[in-house]
Amino acid sequence: MRTCPSVLPYWIWTGIGESLWYNHLVTTDPSSRVADERVEKSGFSGWTGYSWDKGVFPDPKGFLKQMHDRGLKICPNDHPADGIASFEDAYSEACKALGRDPKDGDPIAFTPAEKPFLDAYFDIILRKLEDDGIDFWWVDWQQGPYSTMSGVDPLWVLNHYHFLNNKRDNKRPLTFSRFAGPGSHRYPVGFSGDSVVTWESLDFQPEFTASKCFRPSFLLMLIMSSHTASSNIGYGWWSHDIGGHMQGYRDDELATRWVQLGVWSPILRLHSSNNPWNAKEPWRFIAEARNAMNDALRLRHRLIPYIYSMNAVSAREGEPLIQPLYWKYPQNGNSFAHKNTYFFGSQLFVVPMTKPRDKVTGRSGVEAWMPPGRHVDIFSGRVYDGDRKLKVFRQLDEYAVFAPEGAMIPFDPSESPDAGTASPKELEIKVIVGADGEFTLYEDNGKGAGVESVEWATTPLKYEQKTGAVTIGPASGDLDCIPKERDWTVTFVSLAEDATLEASLDDKSSTSATNKKYKTGISITVTSVPAGAKLTVTITSASSKSGPTLRTRNALDDVFTILNDAQMSFDAKPGVWSTLNEREKPLVVRLASLRGMDLDANLEAALGECLSGDSRWTG
């Protein structure tokens, strides 16, 4: 089953989607409302409307041009159930197209199963706004499951024709709509509907739940809000309300964890409600949360080369970005038992931090299962054995994302990437040694509505464990859509400390290469590499005959940090530290002694994660 027959436009990831209520932008008075006399007289709900309020937008085309000049796209929210009212600017023209007299002032009923209405709706009502500069439409619900044609769900009709309408002029089709039932994956992007602002709601988002369903309903919206459930039914490009939409409570830690989950979601979309206190802008939160949110949102931009390449894979091979662990390990019951953990593309897997931090460790702790093989936390560089269960702990500014040996992940190296850049002039490849690996970087010029019509530029990335060599390129295909020259950085995460790096360009030693060592690894940067050249980076001092090895980290360094942060008796800490430092005793004995000290359960688990994560470290 192909998850998406078309390639999504790159800009769906280059920005951060956010919905805001107008009155919250212009006033701090929660009792104020944008009122339009014509709407009030009509008796309409206020959800449906296709005319600009000139008091708010005196120059709609100018406003939309300014947004486009900033690299932004505009997607209005449309609840079409009320039809087309007499106060709409295009009402008279739509009446004439339908053979009606506009003087009677009767609203044009919403009848999506009838071709004359659809023609007027798309070719007149929406087209005028699209000519102003509207990019695509957010098709919301409220019209119910019935239409004038038996068995035809209005949402199905809207999704189908909105998608085709957005395909005009060889554009990459895109709509944004609720789930209309199995098969809706053909019309990306989808969204789950209104979520409640609670920890329980956040914890549900990535979880696999039943996905057998027959028609849109509130229960179905809850079911499909899960990452893995949407992938199970083929809906790879799925979104939910980051931060929650309604009810609930203010909790800055919860809001931060939700934004972080959004970074590791197919589509990142912040969502607010008609409540001035339920805001999602980072600057509305305390400093600790604000800083973590800002870092997370910038990281999302840096991930675009990786996510966009997986977009190509999704369209070409039917592989969704998000995949539950049990797709790859169906014979292992742990892959089903740990429902929240999922693969994020071909190179990463994520353990979402969906629990509040405990009072003793100051960290969020989540039960996880590591798939078979050795893995590395791409942020901290900590190494973990696979095929095992453990509880993963992270501070508020940390997240649990792992890469297996042989992984190659392309990043934008800039700390603040340009939101509008599809093909950055600088790229970084994070490499995890220990096994052979490969990845294909996909780029294009943004043209072509279907996967068959896209002219790709592909850059092969390959790592050979035996020789410790990374090769990048040469790029092939439509080289006009990528920079003629690029600066490449290759970062080996958690590489053994005795390693050094050398670079060659088309098998000739490069003089523009510079090495840099980090706490979590080592990197080399080579500038001005032609698109058609082959760059090779070699680890020159491998620490094993079988090739480079991952660093064996001193777990006691992490133990000290956790003990230092622990909110507990000062007098108890020296005893814990002394017990864990008895290096003449096997680690298993020290861990057994730890269990006999009547420590807080979370503290004991956090210390255990540090000490037993990598079996190569024996203390």
Question: Residue 217: which pLDDT band, with cuts at 50, 70 and 90?
Answer: very low
Cα 70 to chain centroid distance, Å, stands at 22
- For residue 244, the model assigns a pLDDT of 87
And the tokens for 377?
A: 């936390």
Whether the CB-CB separation of 187 and 6 falls below 8 Å is answered with: no
Please give the model's pTM, rounded to 2 decimal places: 0.90
How high is the pLDDT of residue 463? Answer: 98
* Type of residue at 484: K
CB-side neighbour CA atoms (13 Å) of 262:
32
**What pLDDT digit, counting tens, does each position of 297-322 carry?**
999 999 999 999 999 999 888 888 99
Q: What are phi and psi of 485, to 5 degrees?
A: -135, 150
Supply the angle between the helices 252-263 and 287-302 in degrees, to the nearest 10.
0
Q: How many helices (H) and strands (E) does the chain have?
A: 20, 27
pLDDT digits (tens, 9 = 90+) for 545-566: 788 999 999 999 999 999 999 9
- Higher per-residue confidence, 350 vs 319: 350
Task: Evaluate whether the domain defined by 322-404+552-612 bears CATH number 1.10.620.20.
Answer: no
Rounded CA-CA distance 536/510 in Å is 9
Select the highest-mean-pLDDT range: 16-30, 34-48, 168-182, 574-588: 574-588
Q: What is the CATH number of domain 11-317?
A: 3.20.20.80
Fold of 413-539: Immunoglobulin-like (2.60.40)
Beta carbons of 311 and 8 less than 8 angstroms apart: yes
Measure the CA–CA gap between 214 and 478, rounded to whole angstroms: 43
Q: Would you place residue 388 in the very low, low, confident or very high pLDDT band (cuts 50, 70, 90)?
A: very high
Examine the pLDDT at 29 and tell me if it is beyond 50: no
Residues of the chain within CATH 3.20.20.80 domain(s) are 11-317
What would the mean pLDDT of 532-545 be, rounded to a whole number?
A: 83
**Which range is least confidently modeled, 210-219, 387-396, 565-574?**
210-219
Output the average pLDDT for the chain. Answer: 86
* Greatest mean pLDDT among 328-337, 421-430, 561-570, 588-597: 561-570
**pLDDT tens digits, 61-100:** 999 999 999 888 888 888 888 889 998 999 999 999 999 9
pLDDT of 527 reads: 93
Please report which confidence band the pLDDT of residue 31 belongs to, taking 50, 70 and 90 as the band edges: very low
Can you tell me the mean pLDDT for 210-228?
Answer: 39
Domain with CATH 2.60.40.1180 in the chain: 322-404+552-612, 413-539
DSSP annotation of 28: S
- Tokens read off for 254: 């919860």
Q: How would residue 194 be classed by pLDDT, with cut points 50, 70 and 90?
A: confident
Q: What is the mean pLDDT of residues 451-475?
A: 94
Of 76-85, 164-173, 183-192, 218-227, the least confident: 218-227
Question: Which among 591, 594, 600 has a CA at the least distance from the CA of 569?
Answer: 600
Q: How confident is the model at residue 154 (pLDDT cuts 50, 70, 90)?
A: confident
Where residue 26 falls among pLDDT bands split at 50, 70, 90?
very low
Cis peptide upstream of residue 474 (ω within 30 degrees of 0): yes
Q: What is the band of 187 on the pLDDT scale with cuts at 50, 70, 90?
A: confident
The pLDDT-based confidence of 377 (bands split at 50, 70, 90) is very high
Tell me what percent of the residues of the chain surpass a pLDDT of 70.
88
**1 vs 279, which has greater pLDDT?**
279
Distance of CA 535 to the CA centre of its chain: 30
Structure tokens at 70: 């900033």
Report percent pLDDT > 90 for the chain: 56
What average pLDDT does range 214-220 have in this prediction?
A: 36
Residue 34: per-residue pLDDT: 40
Q: How far apart are CA 452 and CA 149, in angstroms?
A: 34
φ/ψ region of 604 (left if φ > 0, alpha if ψ in -120 to 50, else beta) reads: alpha
The predicted pLDDT at position 499 comes to 82
Q: Tell me which of 31-40, 55-64, 379-388 is least confident.
A: 31-40
Q: How confident is the model at residue 542 (pLDDT cuts 50, 70, 90)?
A: low
**Per-residue model confidence (pLDDT) at position 210:** 27
